[in-house]
Amino acid sequence: MRFKNKKMTDSKVVIIGGGIGGAAAAVALKAKGIRADVYEQAPVLKEVGAGIGVRPPTVNFFKKWGIYEDIEKVSARSEHMEIIAGDDQVLVKEAWPVLTENKSDAYARLIHRADLLDTLIAHIPEDQLHLNHRLTEVIDHGVYAEVKFANGKTIEADLVIAADGIRSPIRNQVLNRHEPVYSGYLAHRALISTRAALGMASQDNVLRIYVDGDNSVYFMPLEGRDQVSVDVTVPGKFARRPEVTKKELMESITGFGPNIQKVVENMDMKQVVTRPLCDLEHVEEWSTKCVTLIGDAAHAMLHNQGQGANMAIQDSGELAETIAESVTIEEALQKYEEKRKPITRLYQDLSRLFPTDKAETAFPEKAHF
């Protein structure tokens, strides 16, 4: 066997994808004394999109990795979430659920995805981050994998970690092909100033979801930026890169109150990013003996429970721990799947529950914990 009798800390680990999941995996492995090189196809690392709520199980990994203080500087603690009909009728005001054994962990930390990614990247040694590397092929040789890039570079690794997203080329080449499933909804996302939110955003770090039937508008305050992450989630036709006019966007929110309509009307469409909301059906196989999936490549989910990034980071933490405590890569990957599949499948299913004006809870997950 090509890598027989090698210590786990000496294993050659390659991560494909430099987003939140890939960066978290590198930081998690570094904390265990394992070098992992990250290969990203983009020439510059950047994370667009919305703010997210980082949950206590994720925060606990940040503490283990020694990066929590840096995360704390660019995030704010949130105690509650609200679901609101119209402009002002509060249907549900609810504390964040406890997801750990610590009963005081009823909170989330609100952070923009870009700030989270920047913090993770800052903790990866510069010589382990490789941009402008677009993967073209992965060859699984059983006890090791060969990775080929468009620039002509070829790498051999004991373990390849696929953090390459919902349309994962590695998953589709090495395991089974899975096509994204469209939800029927588009998400229109933008960052606006706190002042431009016209009072729709909470001043005390409460995530607010305004609802009209099954349609929703999220206002997530980002305290340190003096900004608000706005997400308008409404039905729309599928396109990989939808193009929506201001008129079409306004027509999609006619059921909301005048204040929300004014906020959206004032948004600069050049700053609005529109994406189709897609997920995956349950992926049965995540790993071979030397290749494994994390994050969206393994279990892409909709944004409704705010758990996509959390699950990717927790994947990374559990994977690093199973590698550190195992004798072989194959054993580690088996343990990793056993730990992660139940919780990620639960959140995939829950993420298909859209917030609605009939909702009795902001957190359907509470029924499972």
Model pLDDT for residues 321-337, shown as the tens digit of each residue: 999 999 999 999 999 99
pLDDT for residue 131 is more than 90: yes
Q: What is the pLDDT of residues 14-23, one digit of tens each?
A: 999 999 999 9
Report whether 154 contacts 147 (CB < 8 A).
yes
Could you tell me the end-to-end alpha-carbon distance of the chain, in angstroms, rounded to an integer? Answer: 44
Q: Does domain 182-279 have CATH number 2.60.40.1180?
A: no
Q: What is the pLDDT of residues 94-123, one digit of tens each?
A: 999 888 888 888 999 999 999 999 999 999
* Mean pLDDT for the stretch of residues 137-154: 96
Q: Does domain 8-78+105-180+280-368 have CATH number 3.50.50.60?
A: yes
Q: Do domains 8-78+105-180+280-368 and 182-279 have the same CATH topology?
A: no
Kindly report the pTM of this predicted structure: 0.95
Cβ neighbours of residue 257 under 8 Å, at least 6 residues apart?
86, 87, 88, 210
Q: Which whole-number Å values give the CA distances from 265 to 197, 217, 249, 251, 254, in the listed order?
A: 11, 13, 9, 11, 11
pLDDT for residue 38 is more than 90: yes
3-state secondary structure of 305: coil
The mean-pLDDT minimum among 58-67, 90-99, 106-115, 140-149 falls in 90-99
Q: Write down how long the chain is.
A: 369
pLDDT for residue 1 is more than 50: no
pLDDT for residue 47 is more than 70: no
Confidence band of 5 (pLDDT split at 50, 70, 90):
very low
Report whether 206 contacts 82 (CB < 8 A).
yes
The residues that bridge with 86 in the sheet, in sequence order, are none
pLDDT of residue 203: 82
Report whether 359 contacts 350 (CB < 8 A).
no
Q: What is the DSSP letter of 131?
A: -
Backbone Cα Rg of the chain: 21
Compute how many other C-beta atoms are within 10 angstroms of the C-beta atom of residue 353.
13
3-state secondary structure of 350: helix
pLDDT of residue 93: 93
Report d(CA 65, CA 27) in Å as an integer: 7
Confidence band of 367 (pLDDT split at 50, 70, 90):
confident
Where residue 116 falls (left for φ over 0; alpha for ψ -120 to 50; beta otherwise) is alpha
Query: Domain locations in the chain?
Result: 8-78+105-180+280-368, 182-279
pLDDT for residue 3 is more than 70: no
